[in-house]
Amino acid sequence: MAHSADALHHDDSATVKEIWKVTGILSLLTIVELILGFWMMGISSTGMIMTIKGSIVILMIAKAFYIVAYFMHLKHEVKNLIMTIVVPLALFIWFIIAFLYEGNSYKDLKNRYDPYKKQQTEIKVQKNEEVKESKKSAE
Amino acid sequence: MSNEVVLDSHGSASIAHEVHHGHDAHHEHHETFISKYVFSMDHKMIAKQFLITGMFWAVMGGLMSVLFRLQLGYPDATFPWLEDILGKWAKGGHISAEAYYALVTTHGTVLVFFVLTAGLSGTFANFLIPLQVGARDMASPFMNMLSFWFFFIAGLVMLSSIFVETGPFSGGWTAYPPLSALGSASPGSKTGMDLWIVSMALFVVSSLLGGLNYIATVLNMRTKGMSMTRLPLTIWALFFTAVLGVLSFPVLFSGFILLIFDRNFGTSFYLSDIFVNGVGALPNEGGSAILYQHLFWFLGHPEVYIILLPAMGMVSEILSTNARKPIFGYMAMIGSMFAIAILAFLVWAHHMFVTGLNPFLGSIFVLLTLLIAVPSAIKVFNWLTTLWRGNIRFTPAMMFAIGFVSLFISGGLTGIWLGNSALDIHLHDTYFVIAHFHIVMGVASMFGMFAGIYHWFPKMYGRYLNNTLGYVHFWITITGAYLIFWPMHYEGLAGMPRRYYDYSIWESFKQFSDLNRFISTVAMIVFATQLLFLANFFYSIFKGRKLMVKNPWDSTTLEWTTPIKPGHGNWPGEIPEVYRWAYDYGKDGRDFISQTTPVGADESVH
Amino acid sequence: MSTITTTVAPTKLWGGGKSPFNVEYGKLMMWYFLMSDAFTFGAFLIAYGTTRFASNGWPNPNEVFRSFPFAPEGVHAPLVFVSVMTFILIISSVTMVLAVHAGKKMDKQAVVKNLILTIIGGIAFLSCQAWEWNHLHNEGAWWGANPFLNADGSQSLNHFTNFFFTITGFHGFHVLSGVVINIVMLIMTLTDKFEQRGHYLMIEKAGLYWHFVDLVWVFVFTCFYLI
């Protein structure tokens, strides 16, 4: 125990430094995400929006990695422990693909076999502000 | 990084020791009736609590099946005594349609969750894990106790739902919306469904508490020398079971939360385009009932293996012990269980081929589903080769273990049929499905459970079960199980749908009335035989033949090195060290070598 | 040092008689509990994604979440308020790491200080969430009620608000329980419970839970506010 305390002191400043470094990275990633988010508002091309959304998802996963690896200290655990936690998460891959594929297919089926519903969803309604404004003018 | 690894090993090893000594000291406290039998933290007592509660639910669930089999076998007959016990649910001695569906639903829920999940892995994980890995108790005895009491309360809530005015939930054990989401859908969808969902939520909590404990114990609390590849296969099976539960029950939980919102807070996660008779069109738009089914079966399929794996593990152990041969393909057994555990998470939608699931997606699920046949077949061949040229002792436990293998083969093969989405168009929702899953999952796992009870009863209570009654129990049960479920394959292939209340009014299914009556009769006989087993069980606890030796089955594993009636803490002195794997039977001319025997200099290498 | 660990550890670690991961059972259980909780949240978010994929239209989050406390009517500031919430949670996560770190050094004062900061951060986050919920509720959004139109101007279904309130509500519930856990930790630290035990391992477990809450927010934030 005695020599472990020694080594901890030795590690101390390095660990604290690491914590602040990771804080910086997380903030940076968040800011980049926000910039992308703001940028996306002014874009109308679907392909571009999808690309930005994809990048945001990648940044999200990077953030998750930094939180788990450094804040939750997983990177400094024994390799086997890391494996028991990371490997089962691979189940999410098929979980996500199957569910989203199914959602998309459900939409297509509905649109094909229930054209009335599809038409209904295409009717444009007054925008919120317009509604509010018309209410105000009515008052 | 490596610095810290070394350091941590010093630090936490000493901590683990402290914790452990803390336990030992705790055991010396005097025990009251309450702390010994009710709020016990001894894993052996908790296991017995799980077992006996599970038995209560097994009787309830079995009785329900007898009642609805009465309806199916004798749709025209009246049984005045039914009105005495069921009241308005059986006016004139004839089970009403609502009651019939409530019975079917509760039978399914109770047997799948309370009996074959809690009653099976709850009992044997609690009992065997600390004993077979060489630990004084579970990692957290307190959480273990909570696990049982959450299960117990879940049971009470489920039981109370039987007595509410509108009856228990009656929309099938899978609780698909809209039947489960709309109170106006059926009488059972009102209070009965609320209670059902509360009960299941409590059950999820119980199973998580238990599962985390089992995993932590297997990983962290193994005795010295007990490496993972020296563990008995029971422990491996229970370990994978716990992993499955920990990862899949939360998904069900999420599905239930969305369901609760649909029921009570006006959301429409699962609801769309619904018109209820007497209520009119509902405002709920755009939800998808298939989403619920996906979430449900994401648990539901692993659940099948949560039920089956413990039975597989115990059967492996019992076959090897009673064939006096090492288990064939120990590593292959672990590998195939691992493969099953992974595949369990990838195949859920094969329960939904005809629900409107995308057919292309379905075809991938077919492929993944059929892959399960590979590890399953490996296991079957390993069991058969373990028996091959063995010096078999036909104890009742061994009989049930062999029966398990037989049932697993004959029930598993029909799974290959059902796993094909094209065949499923014809076979879905017929008695073929009922026959398939009852044999492979229901009866087979019950056989695993019986095998486990017969085998470890001496360790639990220090007495034997009566052998003769055991053989009677076995032969009637296995014959009965096949007589009940084989004809159902035939009925299913002929197109007879499941979940119908009365087949006699259908021209196409009238022809099966004799067969249905036959099935019902056998079901009653089999149920009565289980009561015989219960009588044997409770009689033997108090009056059974006393155990005189520590190791009645000449077994190699650690639990048989404890005293005949181990106290809390299991071993009076030091926990024994382990030197070899769990299957040294018939090695170098010796009948068996206990895991605690050091490897001799002249021993051959296995 | 490093050579010793890599050559000796693997066989000895799994040999029994000790934890193969060099962690006590409590931490192991906490990790696996978080795994299972990850599946709870994962299921929620995947259900949300599935429903969104199954819908013909979806509201634009920038038109929904564009308010800020004390901002005058008509000022639209999309993403600003939620950025504040996100940073609050990140900072509270940092203070939690510092508390865990201080616990390892047996530095009671630093533990107390950082725990208090974490609790404040948690309460601040919950207050923000309460404000946002209240604001949305005033605009007419609630379970089963969605006043917002789809991005393309068509009538929207209720899914957007249904999922938003359910999932952020479930996350907020986790934050709340995290705050309660941290308060318990604070009381235990102040009453010297951990000093007596000789280690602050409980704080580490509470820390894992707290970081997990932060982690979930990363996903919720992205899924609801950004994309």
pLDDT of residue B494: 93
- Band of residue A5 on the pLDDT scale cut at 50, 70, 90: very low
Shared domain check, A23 and A4:
yes
- Band of residue A129 on the pLDDT scale cut at 50, 70, 90: low
Q: Look up residue C128 and give its two tokens.
A: 């923000």
B582 touches chain C (CB under 8 A): no
Helix (H) or strand (E) holding B276: strand B275-276
Q: Look up residue A45 and give its two tokens.
A: 């091309």
Average of per-residue pLDDT values in chain C: 90
Render pLDDT for B499-510 as a digit per residue (tens, 0 to 9): 999 998 889 999
Last residue of a domain, one of A88, A106, A126: A88
pLDDT over 70 percentage in chain B: 95
Residue C36 and residue B208: Cβ atoms within 8 Å?
yes
Residue A137 pLDDT more than 60? no
- All residues of chain C having their beta carbon less than 8 Å from the beta carbon of residue B221 are 25
Provide the CATH topology of domain B39-272+279-592: Cytochrome C Oxidase; Chain A (1.20.210)
pLDDT of residue A127: 57
The CA distance from C207 to B571, in Å, is 36
pLDDT of residue C66: 85
Shared domain check, A14 and A69:
yes
- All residues of chain B having their beta carbon less than 8 Å from the beta carbon of residue A106 are 288, 290, 356, 358
Shared domain check, A79 and A138:
no
pLDDT of residue C27: 92
Render pLDDT for C55-64 as a digit per residue (tens, 0 to 9): 998 998 888 8
- All residues of chain B having their beta carbon less than 8 Å from the beta carbon of residue A1 are 10-11, 14
- Band of residue B602 on the pLDDT scale cut at 50, 70, 90: confident
A27 touches chain C (CB under 8 A): yes
pLDDT of residue A136: 52
Q: Which residue among B12, B134, B267 places its CB closest to the CB of C22?
A: B12
Q: Look up residue B422 and give its two tokens.
A: 């094209």
The CA distance from B129 to B147, in Å, is 15
- All residues of chain B having their beta carbon less than 8 Å from the beta carbon of residue A99 are 294
Q: Answer yes or no: are the C-beta atoms of C28 and C35 closer than 8 Å.
A: no
pLDDT of residue B440: 95
- The arithmetic mean of pLDDT across residues C167-181, rounded, is 96
Render pLDDT for B570-592 as a digit per residue (tens, 0 to 9): 999 899 999 999 999 998 888 99
A76 touches chain B (CB under 8 A): yes
- Band of residue C8 on the pLDDT scale cut at 50, 70, 90: very low
- The arithmetic mean of pLDDT across residues B156-164, rounded, is 95
| Sign for the pseudo-dihedral over CA of A110, A111, A116, A122 | positive
What's the Cα-to-Cα distance from B77 to each of B2, B84, B89, B515, C41, rounded to whole Å? Answer: 77, 16, 16, 16, 51
Interface of C with B in 162-221 (CB under 8 A): 162-163, 166, 170, 199, 201
pLDDT of residue A88: 93
pLDDT of residue C72: 76
Shared domain check, A116 and A69:
no
Residue A108 is part of which domain span? 90-139
Shared domain check, A68 and A107:
no
Residue B430 is classified by DSSP as B
- Phi–psi pair at B416, nearest 5 degrees: -65, -35
Distance of CA B324 to the CA centre of its chain: 27
Picking from A79, A102, A104 by the largest number of B CB atoms within 10 A of its own CB, the best residue to mutate is A102
Domain count within chain A: 2
Shared domain check, A137 and A110:
yes
- All residues of chain C having their beta carbon less than 8 Å from the beta carbon of residue A34 are 79, 83
pLDDT of residue C79: 86
Residue C36 pLDDT more than 90? yes
- Phi–psi pair at B369, nearest 5 degrees: -65, -45
Q: Which residues contact B431 (CB under 8 A, 6 or more apart)?
A: B488, B489, B491, B492, B496, B497, B498
Q: For B463-492, give one letter per residue: b (16+ CB within 10 A) or e.
A: bbbbeebbebbbebbbebbbbbbebbbebb
Q: Answer yes or no: are the C-beta atoms of B46 and B142 closer than 8 Å.
A: no
Render pLDDT for B49-83 as a digit per residue (tens, 0 to 9): 999 999 999 999 999 999 999 999 999 889 999 99
- Band of residue B29 on the pLDDT scale cut at 50, 70, 90: low
What's the Cα-to-Cα distance from B104 to each of B58, B169, C157, rounded to whole Å? Answer: 14, 10, 36
Domain boundaries, chain C: 24-226
- The arithmetic mean of pLDDT across residues A37-51, rounded, is 89
Q: Which residues contact B415 (CB under 8 A, 6 or more apart)?
A: B372, B373, B436, B440
pLDDT of residue C1: 37
Residue B587 is classified by DSSP as E
Residue A118 and residue C46: Cβ atoms within 8 Å?
no
Partners of B489 in beta bridges = none
Q: Which residue among C9, C50, C101 places its CB closest to the CB of A16?
A: C101
pLDDT of residue A126: 66
Shared domain check, A28 and A71:
yes
Match domain C24-226 to its CATH number in 3.40.50.300, 1.10.3720.10, 3.30.70.270, 1.20.120.80: 1.20.120.80
pLDDT of residue B22: 40
Q: Which residue among B8, B227, B268 places its CB closest to the CB of C22?
A: B8
Radius of gyration over alpha carbons of chain C, in Å?
21
Domain boundaries, chain B: 39-272+279-592
Render pLDDT for B455-470 as a digit per residue (tens, 0 to 9): 999 999 999 999 999 9
Peptide bond into C69 cis (omega under 30): no
pTM of this prediction?
Answer: 0.92
Residue B20 pLDDT more than 50? no
**Nearest residue in chain B measured CA to CA from A6:** B7
The CA distance from B81 to C164, in Å, is 53
Q: Which residue among C28, C35, C57 places its CB closest to the CB of A88?
A: C35
Shared domain check, A132 and A81:
no
Render pLDDT for B308-327 as a digit per residue (tens, 0 to 9): 999 999 999 999 999 999 99
Render pLDDT for C84-111 as a digit per residue (tens, 0 to 9): 999 999 999 999 999 999 999 999 999 9
Residue B10 pLDDT more than 60? no
Q: Look up residue B410 and give its two tokens.
A: 């004959």
Shared domain check, A3 and A57:
yes
Partners of B430 in beta bridges = B497
Q: Answer yes or no: are the C-beta atoms of C42 and A95 closer than 8 Å.
A: yes
| Sign for the pseudo-dihedral over CA of B518, B521, B526, B529 | negative
C31 touches chain A (CB under 8 A): yes
Residue A85 and residue C31: Cβ atoms within 8 Å?
yes
Residue A11 and residue B4: Cβ atoms within 8 Å?
yes
Does the structure's ipTM exceed the value 0.85? yes
Residue C106, amino acid: M
Residue B299 pLDDT more than 80? yes
